[in-house]
Amino acid sequence: MTRIRLAKTAGFCFGVNRAVDIVWKLVNDGERVCTLGPIIHNTQMVSELSERGVRIVSSPTEVRPDETVVIRSHGVGQNVYDEIRRLGLKYVDATCPFVAKIHRTVRERSLLGDAILIVGDENHPEVIGIKNHCCGENYTVKSPEEIEELAIKFPLLKNKPLSVVAQTTFDINLWEKCLKTIKKVYTNSNFFGTICNATTDRQTEAAQLSRCSDFMVVIGDRGSSNTCKLYGICKSNCDNTVLAQTKDDVPPQMVLNANNIGVTAGASAPARIIKEVLDNMTEILNNSSETNVENSEGNFAEMLEENLKSLNTDGRVQGVVLSVAPNEVLVDVGRKQSGIIKIDEFTNDPNARLEDLVKVGDKLDLLIMRTNDQEGVIMLSKKRVDALKGWDTIVAAAESEEILSGVVTEVVKGGVLVASNGMKIFVPASQATLSRNNSLDELLKKEVNFRIIDIDQRRRRAVGSIKSVLKEENDKIREEFWKNCEVGKVYTGVVKSLTSYGAFVDIGGVDGMIHISELSWSRIKHPSEVVNVGDTVEVYVKDIDTEKGNISLGYKKSEDNPWEILKRDYPVGSEVEVQIVGMVSFGAFARILPGIDGLIHISQIADRRIEKPQDELTVGQVVKAKITAIDFEKKRVSLSMRALLEEEKAQQSLQEDEVVASTESMTVEAPAEEAAPAEEATPAEEAAPESAE
Q: So where are the chain's domains?
A: 2-9+199-293, 14-95, 98-195, 311-381, 389-462, 485-556, 570-645
pLDDT tens for each residue of 30-44 = 889 999 988 887 787
Whether the per-residue pLDDT at 373 is higher than 70: the answer is no
Whether the per-residue pLDDT at 682 is higher than 80: the answer is no
The domains spanning 98-195 and 311-381 adopt the same CATH topology: no
Instruction: Report the C-alpha gap between 105 and 164 in whole angstroms.
Output: 10
Instruction: Report the C-alpha gap between 80 and 387 in whole angstroms.
Output: 51
Residue 625: closest CA among 579, 656, 677, 560 = 579
Q: Which residue has the higher pLDDT, 669 or 86?
A: 86
Per-residue pLDDT at 663: 64
Q: How confident is the model at residue 336 (pLDDT cuts 50, 70, 90)?
A: low
Residue 552: closest CA among 608, 609, 489, 500 = 489
User: Strand 338-342 relative to strand 377-381: parallel, antiparallel, unpaired?
Assistant: parallel
Whether the per-residue pLDDT at 350 is higher than 90: the answer is no
Per-residue pLDDT at 310: 35
Instruction: Report the C-alpha gap between 529 and 516 in whole angstroms.
Output: 10
Instruction: Report the C-alpha gap between 666 and 140 in whole angstroms.
Output: 114
Output the furthest CA–CA distance in the chain (Å, rounded).
167
Q: How confident is the model at residue 684 (pLDDT cuts 50, 70, 90)?
A: very low
| Coil, helix or strand at residue 163 | strand
| Coil, helix or strand at residue 609 | coil
Per-residue pLDDT at 229: 87
126 carries an active-site annotation: yes
CB-count burial class (<10 Å; 0-12, 13-18, 19+) for 313: exposed
Give 485-556's CATH code, choosing from 2.40.50.140, 3.40.920.10, 3.30.365.10, 2.30.290.10: 2.40.50.140
Supply the CATH classification number for the domain 14-95.
3.40.50.11270
Whether the per-residue pLDDT at 355 is higher than 80: the answer is yes
Per-residue pLDDT at 538: 85
Q: How confident is the model at residue 159 (pLDDT cuts 50, 70, 90)?
A: confident
- Cβ atoms 424, 404 nearer than 8 A: no
| Coil, helix or strand at residue 660 | helix
Residue range 7-12: mean pLDDT, rounded: 77
- Cβ atoms 333, 321 nearer than 8 A: no
Q: How confident is the model at residue 313 (pLDDT cuts 50, 70, 90)?
A: very low
Q: How confident is the model at residue 161 (pLDDT cuts 50, 70, 90)?
A: very high
Instruction: Report the C-alpha gap between 141 and 186 in whole angstroms.
Output: 14
- 475 half-sphere exposure, CB direction, 13 A CA radius: 6
Instruction: Report the C-alpha gap between 566 and 554 in whole angstroms.
Output: 22
Neighbours of 526 (CB within 10 A): 12
Does the domain at 98-195 match CATH 3.65.10.10? Answer given as no
DSSP state of 507: S
Instruction: Report the C-alpha gap between 37 and 42 in whole angstroms.
Output: 12
Q: 389-462 sits in which CATH class?
A: mainly beta
User: Strand 502-506 relative to strand 511-515: parallel, antiparallel, unpaired?
Assistant: antiparallel
Give 2-9+199-293's CATH code, choosing from 3.40.250.10, 3.40.50.300, 3.40.1010.20, 1.10.510.10: 3.40.1010.20
Whether the per-residue pLDDT at 51 is higher than 80: the answer is yes
Instruction: Report the C-alpha gap between 24 and 46 in whole angstroms.
Output: 12
DSSP state of 155: G
Q: Which residue has the higher pLDDT, 255 or 556?
A: 255
> 169 CB contacts (<8 Å, ≥6 apart)?
126, 195, 196, 199, 225, 226, 229, 267
Instruction: Report the C-alpha gap between 322 and 361 in whole angstroms.
Output: 7
pLDDT tens for each residue of 202-231 = 888 899 999 999 999 999 888 887 888 899
Query: Which residue among 48, 67, 126, 518 is the active-site one?
Result: 126
Whether the per-residue pLDDT at 192 is higher than 80: the answer is yes
- 297 half-sphere exposure, CB direction, 13 A CA radius: 8
Cα R_g (the chain), whole angstroms: 45
Q: 311-381 sits in which CATH class?
A: mainly beta
Whether the per-residue pLDDT at 690 is higher than 60: the answer is no
Whether the per-residue pLDDT at 549 is higher than 80: the answer is no
Q: Which residue has the higher pLDDT, 147 or 647?
A: 147
Name the CATH superfamily for 570-645.
Nucleic acid-binding proteins (2.40.50.140)
Maximum average pLDDT range among 26-30, 371-375, 528-532? 528-532
Residue range 509-533: mean pLDDT, rounded: 84
